[in-house]
Structure 1
Amino acid sequence: MARTKAGAEETAAPDASLDRKALLADALRRRIVSMELAPGAVVDELALSEEFGLSRPPVRELMRQMAAEGYIELEANRAARVSSMNHQSLRNFFLAAPMIYIATTQLAATNATAREVDELRAIQQRFRAAIEQNDVENRVLNNDQFHLQIGKMAHNPYLMPSLRRILIDHARLGKIFYRHPTTVDMELDLGKAADQHDEIIDAIARRDAGAAGDIVRLHMDLSRRRMTEYVAPVGVEVPLVL
């Protein structure tokens, strides 16, 4: 059976194929968390194969990997779809997110290296720059990277799958509730969130796990309050379990 052009290129230049696959993975993750691909949208495997010059097998392999990470949903005899956001998933998010963030942040205060703290500070600088530039997409993406970096600094592989799944919906919710930061309250909240990031970094740097946990608890409550203004029906209280 004749190989496709993309397949022949992958055989001749495996490194190039891996690069294209990595580019596809990064692009797809960004499109999902930025909500360029909406929750429940079909992920067109053929279109992605053509866009990134890959044959179908590596794209399918990536789809399985991203399904395991929680970005997409795979079902038999159905096209891949972006992971959904419904009442139950949001309720689960608000219940689990504070516990996961507190656990990873406290462990980061115990296990982080000086180099990792420096990387966290660099992400924070980009987050503040996005706020100043009113750049919603980069604000959301750098907030995502901030908490993901803390998860890596925790050095606990059991927590990372849960953290990665939570960050997907946190980023998508953030794209919604940060979309119109025009009110004074919103601007104050953004400034407070950035200040809390700095406080979290300082607590981690001085290895104060208790303070790091307390600050991220307040940080999550700030996000929760702003998020619920957009996702909760009037009169419905979103639970917070800590």
Structure 2
Amino acid sequence: MKEVPQDGTRQGKGSGARFVYDTLKHEILSLTLAPGIPLDETSLAERFALSRSPVREALVRLSAEGLVVMLSNRSTLVAPIDVAGFPRYVEALDFLQRINTRLAAQNRTEDDLAEMQDAARAFDRSTAKNDYLAMSATNRDFHMAIAKAGRNPYLARCYGQLLDEGRRILHMHFDFLRASTSDRLLGSEHADMIAAIRDRDIARADTLAHAHTRQFHDRFVKFLSASYMGDFDFDLSTLGSNGA
């Protein structure tokens, strides 16, 4: 089925690539397009009723964000989620989360604090609606509001890329957190971080940012463990009962 903008208007120059980019990014981050599946330019061009040029432009942009992988034979895949590389990912995320939060505590303005509060409330609203894609997006917005307050665009840009890569991981284990009897999705972490930044308490902001990363790491490891055990759930007591 061919897709067109919902308002039915004709797409101007460059808007076709933007529409393809927005649609595919949404589908990748929500795991509608599974990690590792191929993305064929011809099929996508037919789907969106466009030439291959805007489709390729969209794929190049997604590749720059680490969401697709463009191979040497000109084929394209949705980027795999590198579970084996997760510890290195968290290591980089922790560094950038801490330095951006420290800088925010040092450089923030009242307008920055208001933007953080708005982003935190948006996250809470998406959580109440159980909207996983909105939850991962508003979580990113909250942390990028902190990075903006830090006044270092280079660190903020790198941080934003890592947060985007982590959105699929967040989406994967939201159900696990919802079903958990011991883990809450989020306590007062966002509010505590805002308070430390408001007080210009750099040491506490750093401590909270590190704890936030550690919580993300620990929860994802628990999710992987629970998923593994769920895949191999059988009654061990039946083994050997036939005399084997």
What's the TM-score once normalised by structure 2's chain length?
0.76
> Does the CA contact (< 8 Å) of 2:18 and 2:58 recur in 1?
no
Deviation per CA, 1:51-89, whole angstroms, max 9, x where unpaired? Answer: 445432233223222212211111211421122223432
Q: Which residue in 1 is equivalent to 2:137?
A: 141
2:181 maps to: 184
1:37 paired residue among 22, 33, 37: 33
Quick check: 1:67 aligned with 2:58? no
CA deviation after TM superposition for structure 1 residue 227, in Å: 0.7
Q: Which moved more, 1:53-62 or 1:26-35?
A: 53-62
Q: Which residue of 2 aligns with 1:7?
A: none
User: In the alignment, which residue of structure 1 is the partner of 2:15?
Assistant: 19
RMSD over equivalenced CA pairs, Å: 2.6
More helix by share: 1
Deviation at 1:101, TM superposition (A): 0.8
Partner amino acid for 2:123?
A: F
Structure 1 residues 185 and 21, CA gap change in structure 2 (3 angstroms): same
Q: Percent identity?
A: 27
Structure 1: segments with no counterpart, 5+ residues: 1-12, 235-242
Higher RCO, 1 vs 2 (CA within 8 Å, ≥6 residues apart): 1
Q: Which residue of 1 is the match for residue 81 of structure 2?
A: 85
Q: CA deviation at 1:124?
A: 1.2
After the TM superposition, which residues 1-242 of structure 1 pair with which residues of structure 2 at under 5 Å, given as runs? 16-180=12-176, 181-186=178-183, 189-192=184-187, 195-231=188-224
CA shift for structure 1 position 122: 1.8
Task: Report the structure number with the largest CA radius of gyration.
Answer: 2
**Equivalent in the alignment of 2:235:** none
Structure 2, unaligned stretches of length 5 or more? 1-9, 229-244
The TM-score, its normalising length taken from structure 1, stands at 0.77
Change (3 A) 1:16 1:152: farther
Per-residue CA deviations over 1:2-60 (Å, capped at 9, x if unaligned) read xxxxxxxxxxx8x8233343333233222222212222122233344344454322332
Q: Distance in 1 between matches of 2:225 and 2:99?
A: 26
Stretch of structure 1 that moved more, 209-218 or 84-93:
84-93
| Corresponding residue SS for 1:81 | strand
Q: Match for 1:41: what amino acid?
A: I
